[in-house]
Amino acid sequence: MMLGMAKASQEEDEESLAQRVLRIFGKEALRPGQEKIIRFAVEGKSALGILPTGHGKSLCYQAAAVMREGMSVVVSPLLALMREQVNHLRRLGIIAHRYDSSLEATERGKLLAEIAGGGVKLLYVAPESLENEALLKSLRSQAVVLSLFVVDEAHCLSQWGHSFRPDYLKLPTWLRQHPFACTLAFTATATPRVRADLQRAFHIPDGRVVSISPYRRNIQRLVRCTSDPLADLLLFLREEDHRHLPAIIYTRTRKNAEELTATLTAAGLDALCYHAGLSQDAREKIQDDFLANRRSILVATIAFGMGIDKPDVRSVVHVNLPSSPESYLQESGRAGRDGLPCTSLLYLSGGDRTLARNRLYAAEPDFEGILRCARMLLPAEPDVVSFWELSTQCDVSEDVPQRLLDTLCRMRAVRIICQGYKFYKARPLLSASTIMNGRCAKEKKRLEWLFEHREGEVAQAASDWRCTYPQALEQLRECEASGEWGLQLRQRALCIAPGKGNADAREVAAGLRSAYEERLRLDLEKLSCLEDILCSHACLNDSMERYLTGKGLPAPCGHCSACLGQAITLPESSNEPLPSFEETDLPHFDRPSQRARFLIGFCSPALLFRRLYSHPLFGIAGRTEWKMLCGENTDAKQSKAD
């Protein structure tokens, strides 16, 4: 099938662009803005698409990629989306692949060869994969014609966005080093400030921004304040003809999700629980059951939903206050993607306001954790580090070591030697005599060592083999490529070494801490803005429109809580006193902020690693103000004592 090998202009007279898209992808009609974006890309012009959830962002870049010569690269942080879209494209006869860490070595090798041969039409990658040397080598092959560079979830690039990701910051620089014809950036929500960031990053003029109103006419947005939300929720889910099912119910924590699922199940409802603490196999089984309508209610944390296409969700319920207007729109927008009537229901309480703010404070890394991480990233000699390990040991989110390393590299205090993995596990597939046959003395010695050390750290193998870390990694991969060994590599890592520049760990940590303080201020501002919108007597949809676009709707929607005369007054934040417990019953913590996170029920990396979420006191003080639990000047005290 020779899709995309001819230029659009060659068929324009016989068939319009829209007709081609509809024919190839089996659609009945294009939605507003889709044809305009596709046409920009087909003509080689970069564009930004701000399209609400369910509006068909993926069709825009898939269609444009098919109609252009060469290979298009789609950057997305969502593995579930990659798998789903690749499978869909293959069913249409379009050669699409994904490149990520889950691929086996043989699959990875075949894919890289196919890319280098120019045989791939669409390639989906996670942002971190763009730094993989093997992939870069294939992309530089003479047979590869680079067509579109697509950035999905583009708001992740902006620090003003609701889910900023530092690895997205590297995309504009990476893009300048590779000759793509044009760029398409997509997001479901973008405030004017985020939009300006994206236009600047990808050199997109105002005339090539396609922004569709976030207002979805088929979604009825309801906000309720009740003393017994569970009883109200049960009535809602049991309404006549089960008209609110299938339903997604979002809770803030894993514990909440599990408890609510148990309650709904005991009440005779068909509910499943989904959160990031479940195994990959369990999550996939739950997801498949819900998508196939074998279960009608999914209680989940925000770990569920990104990249999942289930058009017939009839309601999305928030039993806790979302963190921002953008999060609320994106999550509630998973209802009614088929265009039929559906409901977004959100419950509010005074205690929930305190809990929401507590979680924003808890998500901010403390100075001690940042400083410890900075020191570990300034090695006296070459070292192998993994972001997961640094995150767990320092109890900071993984973006902290990533941002620190970016800063240290810019200061030339650290240099990255190569990317790799922390651990290996080797399994001989043939007998020892067969594997050893014909080997020189040096190879035999290395293989004998591998027979005795079939599992361990790659750095230890390098030390015992008296070679560098990159050489040890390459030798392990050669063992696998020979077909004589099975190999598993886990926990992505970087081999780093001291650079020529100098850096003071305390100064670097203080600079990053300031950036996180500003981020916290913005997050608290967004949360307050959402509260104002939800409790306003003005049309809820009009208020959301003004927040995101700066312009209102032509007229009130007529079917949200406010328009129906059901506007609420949010109760005052309830600052509950610290519950009574014996301090000796708490686990040991290194820092006051860790104790506070435990008490409010926030799973930081170190708490998660220690499985403290199952402790009976975990989350006991969720509605006690953060400042009471931790103290306003905790970091300052730690800083002076350090």
E strand or H helix that includes residue 260: helix 254-266
CA-CA distance, 130 to 376, in Å (whole number)? 25
Torsion of CA 192, 196, 197, 203, to 10 degrees: 150
What residue ranges do the domains of the chain occupy? 8-211, 219-348+536-549, 573-641
| Of the candidates 170, 161, 168, the residue with the CA atom closest to the CA atom of residue 196 | 161
Tokens of 128: 């971190």
Query: Which stretch of 230-244, 245-259, 261-275, 572-586 has the lowest confidence by average pLDDT?
Result: 572-586
443-449 contacts, C-beta under 8 A, 24 or more apart: 446/475, 447/479
| 601 φψ region: left (φ > 0), alpha (ψ -120 to 50), beta (else) | left
Residue 422's CB: how many other CB atoms inside 10 A?
Answer: 18
- Model pLDDT for residues 65-118, shown as the tens digit of each residue: 999 999 999 998 877 778 888 988 999 999 999 998 777 777 888 899 999 999
CB of 511 closer than 8 Å to CB of 407: yes
pLDDT grade, residue 613 (50/70/90)? confident
Does CATH number 3.30.9.100 belong to domain 8-211?
A: no
H helices then E strands: how many in the chain?
A: 26, 17
The backbone torsions φ and ψ at residue 143, rounded to the nearest 5 degrees and listed phi first, read: -80, -10
Looking at the predicted structure, is the pLDDT value of residue 273 above 60?
Answer: yes
Place of tokens 């017994």: 228
DSSP SS3 for 468: coil
Looking at the predicted structure, is the pLDDT value of residue 221 above 60?
Answer: yes
How confident is the model at residue 104, as a pLDDT?
Answer: 75
CA-CA distance, 346 to 215, in Å (whole number)? 17
* C-alpha atoms less than 13 angstroms from C-alpha of 444 in its C-beta half-sphere: 8
How confident is the model at residue 642, as a pLDDT?
Answer: 46
- Percent of the chain at pLDDT > 70 equals 93
* C-alpha atoms less than 13 angstroms from C-alpha of 233 in its C-beta half-sphere: 28
Question: Do 8-211 and 219-348+536-549 fold alike per CATH?
Answer: yes
Query: Which stretch of 84-93, 258-267, 433-442, 630-639 has the lowest confidence by average pLDDT?
Result: 630-639
Does CATH number 3.40.50.300 belong to domain 219-348+536-549?
A: yes
Looking at the predicted structure, is the pLDDT value of residue 7 above 50?
Answer: no
How confident is the model at residue 88, as a pLDDT?
Answer: 87
Place of tokens 């999905």: 152
